[in-house]
Structure 1
Amino acid sequence: MRFVIVTGMSGGGKSTAMRMLEDSGFFCVDNLPVPLIEKFMELLMMPNNEISKAALGLDVRADQSFGDAMKILNKMRQNGFVFEILFMDASDATLMKRYKESRRVHPLATPEDNRIESGIRREREILTAMKKQADYIIDTSKLLTRELKEEIDRIFVQNGEYNNLIVSIVSFGFKHGIPADADLVFDVRFLPNPFYIDELKYLTGLDKGVQDYVMSFPEAGQFLDRLEDMLHFLIPNYIKEGKYQLVVAIGCTGGKHRSVTLANELYGRMKDKGNYGLTLSHRDVK
């Protein structure tokens, strides 16, 4: 019997994760009243139960004590019930943006100010203990729905090892500014610029002609070799320190040719080679 508690920040992707687990064959129950959690878990433990995989969505509600839910889970664990905790998270800025776009009211926003920001702050405080106990933490700040599904499948379908780190490879153009959330920034303007080649000027690093031109220079391959080696050294240490999101930004002048090509190449080299999530985006290619 595999049992998963899906929880996390409101707006962090919990409902989406529950739908993906359901599509993967999990029996899913969401928003169960706290007093019924123990009974639900006991029913799953009964002999001859045909359900082999189940997920319970658990979130913070203004009318329920999350502390009581934590006590029940701790009691069940002490009684030998085995379960995993999936914690869905996102940056405060991302959560603010999602709430504003959906025009929803945060469940913990007080009637006095009705502010999303204060609701997010209160929720983080309440969920601190749960996050510390989580077996998996997925930060959805930069994840597309397709990428989130890949992470859910890797953990709960393929049963792969997971270390809570999402590595985001981003290409950008320096003339548009360095990405504000970048952890590591690499400048590839040392390579010849395809912009000055007439037949390549209006293409991008997504086109084979540009890719072939950029990668024809030995320095491009040497740069990727060294960068890949460094990331393979850094990533396990970031995981050890509990980092959840690593943004690797590769920049050229306009963010259309060299940076796009090298970001694609780096992604191809690193994909499926580690027990961490990996995403790719091109901020300025359009």
Structure 2
Amino acid sequence: MQLIIISGLSGSGKSVALKVLEDGGFYCIDNLPTPFLPQIAGYLQEDGHDKIAISIDVRGGPSLDAIPQQLDSLKAQGVDVRLLFLEAKTETLVKRFSETRRRHPLAISSLTVTEAIGLEREMLAGIGDLGHRIDSSDLNANTLRNWVKTVVEMDQSRLTLIVESFGFKHGIPLDADLVFDVRSLPNPHYVPDLKPLTGRDEPVIDFLQAQPEVREMYQDIEHFVARWLPSFVKDNRSYLTIAVGCTGGQHRSVYFAEQLGKRFSEEQQVIVRHRELS
């Protein structure tokens, strides 16, 4: 049985993720109280369901602390369990609640929305690192759907290496484990013919590969990742996200993400994604 647990901050896109899985043939349950997770999973498995998705969030209260132990127990029973944790920047979440006129589940009379989001982060702090994190701050719904599909399709028994490009002017991705800054390198943005292109286009690739600094930076990053990746594999990590950032997230970071993705796909299952291009 494959069991996907969806959790994360209110307003970060959990409903979108759950709908993606429902459309993919999963039996879905929203807002399940945490104490019922083992019983419900066992019942549905006995009832013949082999693909289940369950959304659990801060409304579960103090019982959230039991999730790590429950996941370990289910894995010990042979269940393919993986957790998908969605998050977003506070300012993004505040804007979303304002636009939809929804009330934050923790925004009681004595708490503002911002304070409620802060409290929610604290309550979920022990869950985020249990699985794959997705920062939905700068993603539209369609891009989020595609990212969820890609993650769910990966082989859980192996580490999934995610290489993501981004632009520093839009902030560092919250889901990044390792961050590399390539803003000091020559910028194709200032070459008129290259400005409208991206780091996936041949003219930009040729321009960057002709720069000695670019080659040296790439070698340093490649060597660092190659040196320490076995440690993450040995630590039984399911996911490792490497984020490479330039100013706008269009040229240099995209080029580096693509090249690193090609290099490490020889030995790991790799997802390459570009936050700003999406």
Indicate the residue corresponding to 2:255 in structure 1.
265
- Per the alignment, residue 176 of structure 2 pairs with none
SS of the residue 2:52 aligns to:
strand
CA distance in 2, matches of 1:157, 1:147: 16
Cα distance change of structure 1 residues 179 and 76 upon mapping to structure 2, 3 Å threshold: closer
For residues 192 and 28 of structure 1, the distance between their equivalents in structure 2, rounded to whole angstroms, comes to 45
Length, aligned pairs only: 257
C-alpha change, 1:275 and 1:93, in structure 2 (3 Å) is: farther
- Structure 2 CA distance, aligned partners of 1:74 and 1:27? 23
Q: Report Cα offsets for 1:102-127 as digits up to 9, x if no partner.
A: 332211012124x1111112112222
Change (3 A) 1:215 1:60: same
| C-alpha distance in structure 2 between counterparts of 1:72 and 1:191, whole Å | 47
Q: What is aligned with 1:129?
A: 126
Structure 2 residue matching 1:129: 3-state secondary structure: coil
Query: What does residue range 48-59 of structure 1 map to in structure 2 within 5 Å?
Result: 49-59=47-57
The 8 Å contact of residues 86 and 137 in structure 1, kept in 2 or not, is answered as yes
Q: Which residue of 2 aligns with 1:231?
A: 221
The alignment's TM-score, normalised by the length of structure 2, stands at 0.70
Conserved? CA contact 2:164–2:243, under 8 Å: yes
Cα distance change of structure 1 residues 162 and 28 upon mapping to structure 2, 3 Å threshold: farther
- TM-score of the pair, normalised by structure 1: 0.68
Pairwise CA RMSD: 4.1
Gaps (5+ residues) in structure 1? 173-177
Question: What is residue 175 of structure 1 aligned with on the other side?
Answer: none
Find the counterpart in structure 2 of residue 68 from structure 1.
63
**Which residue number in structure 2 is paired with residue 280 of structure 1?**
274
- For the residue of structure 2 that corresponds to 1:187, the secondary structure is coil
Native 8 Å contact 1:192 1:214 kept in 2: no
CA 1:116–1:246 in 2, change beyond 3 Å: closer, same or farther?
farther
Conserved 8 A contact 2:154-2:160: no
Check 1:189–1:165 CA distance in 2 against 1; reply closer, same or farther (3 A cut): closer
**How far apart are residue 158 of structure 1 and its match?**
3.6
> What corresponds to 1:3 in structure 2?
3
Cα offset for 1:249? 3.0
Task: Report if aligned partners of 1:6, 1:86 keep a CA contact under 8 Å in 2.
Answer: yes
Q: How does 1:205-220 map to 2 (within 5 A)?
A: 205-206=197-198, 212=203, 215=206, 219-220=210-211
